[in-house]
Chains A and B, each alone.
Chain A
């Protein structure tokens, strides 16, 4: 598990403004401890974040019902991302999509290679509860699209947090069956990793956390690097 020992990255409002000013295209706020502990995100911060952000942002963690999603979207979030609750209740994807439209519904998938196949993990926010669902990742990717997901974030667990690059092979395999926007997650450590994932896995977006939080890779530097490599990206 790479989620152990979370680093407190500081006041999220300050962080949100920093990333806005640095040119992030979208922000995702994860409360990765929300699902395992059976509680929901504390939403008082969503409105404060929405007031300062002029880019889209997504809230992930602890959204288990249409009412949960409505509260978050009503506070100004653009999208909600569901992961463990979607595995527990796949019909939730459909209900959210019908109520808010597919564009609001992101499904996060934690996946790992086991015996040569990609398998879905649940409750990865808690090392003590994380479990292999024995679901095939590719089947789950197909199912969530049929159920109305408008975007998929694929977190390749073995790569996550180690900054040695995205899992290109797995992302490329998922890309083949993913007709909605696909966001790569897990493994970004250097500008080359971003370029590789856009070129070799043809993803629509690349998500990273630690490499930005630590300041080791400033977003403007990364974006200039990608533009120089002819990747179409907002300055």
Chain B
């Protein structure tokens, strides 16, 4: 049975993620309790706001090493995905280091920043995360920073430049877009993540 824990990273709109999971019939618990996180079958790390603020809140809750030591499927969402990397240019902050590389500011000369809107996924490889999902499907992005395309990239997106939209390394997954606000496609991504054992 799925026991889903959502790390309470202090963002104002974690409610929308919980509602999306409710619609899937998945119960979730919002927590900063290390024991609850360790005993969960799946963990999600949402993040909104500046990377440095999110890291500070995780540190305050003594969760940095807890998150680093998790072995169950972990999904970082938006800034939560960016926190999975070694560091972020946003506030020049050291992050969790579960994925190699550094998050940097979007360089999309002539296009508005933040990048806010619906853009297409370009799948780079197959993944259980992509069951019933195809290249060209639209998902909803809100961000000013991005992770470069790397070995960890499962899907790309292009907005001025091409960046990682979905990443994975071992049990660690991340989406730059907001699956909870990406209509049917986003809902499928959440469903697929929760099916990963």
Q: For the complex, is A204 an interface residue (Cβ under 8 Å from B)?
A: yes
Q: Which of A70-107 contact B (CB under 8 A)?
A: 70, 73-78, 100-104
Please tell me if the beta carbons of A181 and B12 are within 8 angstroms of each other in the complex. Answer: no
Distance of A233 Cα from B136 Cα, bound (Å): 11
Please tell me if the beta carbons of B112 and A78 are within 8 angstroms of each other in the complex. Answer: no
Cβ-defined partner of B116 (8 Å) among A70, A151, A234: A151
Cβ-defined partner of A54 (8 Å) among B23, B48, B49, B138: B23
Q: For the complex, is A157 an interface residue (Cβ under 8 Å from B)?
A: no
Interface string of B172-195 (1 = CB under 8 A from A): 000000101111101100000000
Q: Which of B13-21, B62-70, B127-135, B160-168 contacts A (4 or more CB under 8 A)?
A: B13-21
Please tell me if the beta carbons of A56 and B140 are within 8 angstroms of each other in the complex. Answer: yes
Q: Which residue of A lies closest to B180 (CB)?
A: A54
A77 / chain B contacts, CB cutoff of 8 Å: 13
Q: Taking the nearest CB of chain A, how far is it from the CB of B9, in angstroms?
A: 13
Cβ-defined partner of B13 (8 Å) among A20, A54, A74, A182: A74
Q: For the complex, is B143 an interface residue (Cβ under 8 Å from A)?
A: yes
B side interface size, CB within 8 A: 30
- Given the contacts A101-B49, A150-B114, A50 and B144 also touching, CB distance less than 8 Å: no
Please tell me if the beta carbons of A102 and B114 are within 8 angstroms of each other in the complex. Answer: yes
Distance of A56 Cα from B19 Cα, bound (Å): 13
- Given the contacts A50-B16, A54-B180, A54-B186, A103 and B116 also touching, CB distance less than 8 Å: yes
Distance of A85 Cα from B112 Cα, bound (Å): 25
A78 / chain B contacts, CB cutoff of 8 Å: 13, 16, 142, 181
Q: For the complex, is A47 an interface residue (Cβ under 8 Å from B)?
A: yes
Distance of A160 Cα from B26 Cα, bound (Å): 43
Would you list 27 pairs from A and B whose C-beta atoms are within 8 A, ordered by A residue?
Answer: A20-B183, A25-B118, A50-B19, A54-B180, A54-B183, A54-B187, A55-B140, A56-B142, A56-B181, A69-B12, A74-B12, A74-B15, A75-B15, A76-B15, A76-B19, A78-B142, A101-B50, A104-B13, A104-B48, A150-B114, A150-B116, A179-B112, A180-B112, A181-B114, A204-B112, A234-B118, A234-B138
Q: What residues make up the interface of B, taking CB atoms closer than 8 Å to A? A: 12-13, 15-16, 19-20, 22-23, 48-50, 112-114, 116-118, 138, 140, 142-144, 178, 180-184, 186-187
